[in-house]
């Protein structure tokens, strides 16, 4: 059995944090692991920005609702799945990926989970 592993953001769909930065006008949310390779440092910075600006998971999900797969991504993924086992390995979050996975016909995804408080803040 052959397995193909892909990233999600920037490969099959646009970068979620960049789309969110464009919506909010907060330039520092455009930073990705290409800019800050230490994932923990990157996420701590994002969480601080979200907290400082009273932004919640629902605000991010609103932006994600308008994101579509990159041109040709669904067809490419369909072809890959006809030839290989496909696993998407991503530093995204299940809470972000749901609507995007639906548009891609629910490929196998391994990613993170967010911890969200009762007020909808990511903690």
CA-closest candidate to residue 28, choices 10, 44, 7, 12: 44
Q: Where are the domains of the chain?
A: 3-112
Report the distance separating Cα 80 and Cα 93, nearest Å: 23
* Contacting residues for 63 by C-beta, under 8 A, at least 6 apart: 16, 19, 20, 23
Active site residues: 7, 9
The token pair at 113 is 């989970």
Single pTM value for the model? 0.91
**In terms of CATH, what superfamily is 3-112?**
thrh gene product, domain 2 (3.90.1470.10)
Residue recorded with tokens 């308008």: 66
Tens of each residue's pLDDT in the chain, 123 residues = 899 999 999 999 999 999 999 999 999 999 998 899 999 999 999 999 999 999 999 999 999 999 999 999 999 999 999 999 999 999 999 999 999 999 999 999 999 999 999 999 999
Give the three-state DSSP class for 123.
coil
């Amino acid at each position: 059995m052959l397995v193909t592993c892909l990233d999600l953001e920037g490969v099959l769909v646009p970068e979620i944090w960049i789309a969110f930065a464009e919506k909010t006008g907060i330039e520092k949310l455009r930073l990705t692991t290409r800019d800050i390779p230490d994932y923990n440092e990157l996420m701590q910075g994002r969480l601080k920005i979200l907290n400082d600006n009273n932004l919640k998971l629902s605000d991010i999900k609103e932006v994600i609702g308008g994101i579509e797969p990159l041109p040709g991504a669904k067809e490419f993924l369909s072809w890959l799945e006809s030839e290989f086992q496909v696993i998407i390995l991503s530093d995204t979050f299940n809470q972000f990926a749901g609507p995007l996975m639906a548009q891609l016909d629910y490929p196998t995804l391994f990613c993170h989970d967010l911890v969200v408080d009762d007020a909808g803040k990511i903690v």
